[in-house]
Amino acid sequence: MPIDYEKVMALQTEGQTYAWRDRETMLYALGVGMGEDPLDANELPFVYERDLKAMPTLATVVAWGAGNFGAAGINYLMVVHGEQRLTVHKPMPAAAEITADWRVTDVVDKGAGKGAILWGETTLKDKASGETLVTLHGATFARGDGGFGGPSTGGPPTHEVPSRAPDAECALKTRPDQALIYRLSGDRNPLHSDPDIAKRAGFDRPILHGLCTYGFCCRAVLRTYADYNPARIKAFDVRFSAPVFPGETIVTRMWKDGATVSFEARVAERDVTVIKNGRCLLDA
């Protein structure tokens, strides 16, 4: 059934409640490779409950399931993450109870055989105070659902990275079982765990979650430009351009101009760019 543009644009949910504790905070950090070296004093605070720190990108999983793109009628076997944007209003706590409000902001028809892009915005608020913690803006690329007659443009503008040589690079190795760890934070799409389903979706083996790659890039920026202080990150935006296979090395190339760190990421083993148009905004 083709996408009903007016119906999808009207989709929204309000006041969904979620909670997490230190266990979920540490499990997420392990899912994006933190603690690879148990003696690394910079990464240990993200995976150890003493003086526990939460990564900013934890926000992408604490309200997993918020929203209702399932009502759009898209083919989820053919769905991949297209873009992810994060705006931090208050640093992510290591434990909290929150509410999540979700709405559709854009639906773009790329044409028959080219897919559709559905943009959703999720606002996470502290349940007790009502204060906004984080705003998430994400694009779902529905590869099998184009040609429904909707608008051919939409969504926020793309950040352009500088044309000069990068100012810094950070190479981080993923584990062969990285997707199996990461999926325990919420996204249990079998595309990332079941070889048979991955083949049906066009991949020769399960792929890493796009948001896991996103977390690895955040880890690279935290290490290179934020002294592992998550409170310094105020925004973190990416466009996903190709999948990573668990076990590969993600090399994040960074350009720093004032408070803005532009970045891209590639897989060293295949020399394939997997993240484009990355933008991290640091505090002044």
Q: How many CA atoms lie within 13 A of 77 on its CB side?
A: 9
Is 187 considered catalytic here? yes
Structure tokens that stand for 280 in this block: 């991290």
Structure tokens that stand for 207 in this block: 């792929």
Question: Tokens 């148990």 belong to which residue?
Answer: 38
Is 192 considered catalytic here? yes
- Residue-by-residue DSSP string for 61-130: TTTTT-S-GGGGT--GGGEEEEEEEEEESSPPPSSEEEEEEEEEEEEEE--TTT-EEEEEEEEEEETTT-
C-alpha to C-alpha distance for 136 and 59, rounded to whole angstroms: 8
Buried residues in 175-198 as b, exposed as e (16+ CB within 10 A): eeebbebbbebbbebebbbeeeeb
- Which candidate in 81, 192, 209, 237 is catalytic? 192
- Which candidate in 187, 196, 257, 271 is catalytic? 187
Residue 57, classed as helix, strand or coil, is helix
26 φ, ψ (degrees, to nearest 5): -70, -40
State the DSSP H helix or E strand holding residue 198, giving kind and residue range, or none if neither: helix 195-200
Those residues whose C-beta lies under 8 Å from the C-beta of residue 154, and which sit 6 or more positions away, are 106, 107, 108, 117, 119
Question: Which active-site residues does the annotation give?
Answer: 187, 192
